[in-house]
Structure 1
Amino acid sequence: MSEKRRQRYQSVLYPLARLPRFCRSELADLVDEEPAGFITKTVNEVVKAGVLETVREDGEIHFEWTHGDPLQLVDQWIDRRIHGDQVKEKPEQERPRERLMRLGAASLSDSELLAILIRVGVVGESAVTGGVKLANRFADELDLIRNYGLPELRTITPAITKASYCQILAALELGKRATEAARARPVEVTKITSTIEATQYCAQKFAYLSGDAVQEEFHIVTLDTKHKPIRTHRITVGTLDSSLVHPREVFRPAIRDAAAAVLLVHNHPSGDPTPSREDHAVTDRLTEAGKLIGIGVLDHIIVARERCQSLREC
């Protein structure tokens, strides 16, 4: 019975999840496998759950998915409809804590991790529902939760109590401190003589730039005559521009460190490490400037969520 219900919900919502936006008058054409009444009722329930938002334009009602992957949002909503809001009504192996123990924290969605921190819900709203609402509201900006007070978060979900609010803030702060500790920990490396060694070094040393940074940052790593790292220096913050990254600012700390070479490093907050034309222009300009003063540019590494990319390989 539950599988049949799941299939009916999927037949309505899966076609809609492939669209970033659709209007009420299109529903019958977009979904033709179910009666119009069931389609309308299902969409209204999804709106009520906060998974879809309504926008009125020119007398027409349009629907837009809230933050996140629509298909994932749909599957989560269907699970709640089938198994109920309460965690105890889910099969044991599908409960957030059990999934964490079985699969590891990295395998859980944001909403599941938040549900674990909320721990228990309140009358009328479970921890699972609260986690989904918070995850939908903050999407890829979970760090912004720390800027909200308890009363503000409770307008998003009443499942947030004083205890769960403290647990969420504590988890965010602990994650921040763990990142800072990893950033401060020295990276064990003897020397950097190849692209592979350069990307591996940057992946560890500048890991925080791949996840936390919201702006581009340009750094250099100064190297001695054996290409062993001396220290790192942040040069600029903001969009990388050849007019802003002046050779004087880049090579001043290199000269001060008596460096024989430098490794250029910057991040792409978008997560895509593909070099831009400006990235290549900056690299070429600094390489030529380095030749004039006898400090070589070993490589230019782009740090991003997906991977690190060497411009020497492009």
Structure 2
Amino acid sequence: MGESEKRERKLRRLFETLAPVAAFSKQQARQRCPDLTPQFLAATLRDLVREGILDRYETSQEETFSWRDARVRSDPDPWISRQINGSQVTAQPEGERPRERLLAGGAEPLSDADLLAILIRVGVKGESAIDAGKRLAKTYSGKLSDLRRASKDELRRISPAVTVTSYAAIMAGIELGRRVSRHEKLHRVSSSPITSTSAAVKYCDERFGGLAISGVQEEFHIVTLSTKHLPINTHFITRGTLDASLVHPREVFRPAIRDSASAVILVHNHPSGDATPSREDYQVTDRLTEVGRLIGITVLDHIVVASEGSVSIRETA
């Protein structure tokens, strides 16, 4: 009998003995499987915990395990097959491995599957990181943006190589990429003067996109501009239903004076999703425009941002 057949027989023995038991200690596992060596038993239990098939609890007296993945518990054959026949990254020629290709030629030429394999980093027995990357890329082909909303269990159902560690790496990689992209967009719009309604709307769409989509209360902000109408900074002013008494000119223009701003853009959101300006929005705009004229700071525009699109009050007045 070959080594693979011996290992397969041991794994089947372990599942036949322990799968009927909802929870067991390491000592109980040894007692139930006396024909398996403690080393083999410990290593297999460790693999099952790492892959999220077993949960492990430890007290001062003992280690206890309970089944988490009911599918593997009831049908271990696919898992056992991967342990015996699966491929690993180390079996790939070094020049074909995603990480080495990234280091040699950068990340841009790599496929989605390659990038995911790098984030997963380490496979499990029977499922390499490359295999896992291909599975995830195929599942999310054409809808890659949905990946950031996937739960750990959802990704684990696609590939057992998605452990807690690799799931955290994937989510962190997605969030970091989102922040880099957002920073690049803000840098581009911040380096261009805002001299028109369309430029003001575009800037506020980029800068306040999160507020437009997920804001649950009205918030009032300002964008301060230089003499060339380049953005200097943004400032949060107040939160709550917009009206003239809430948005006091003193609070609006204090940060603008501190920034030595020549002009400002007023910005607030509509949590309803509809950016259509209200009567109060026009009243606040008129009042702040008049105060700005008196102190020498131009109110260039007032942009209402919302999930259904942004609107310039100057354009609709």
Larger Rg: 2
TM-score (normalised: structure 2): 0.48
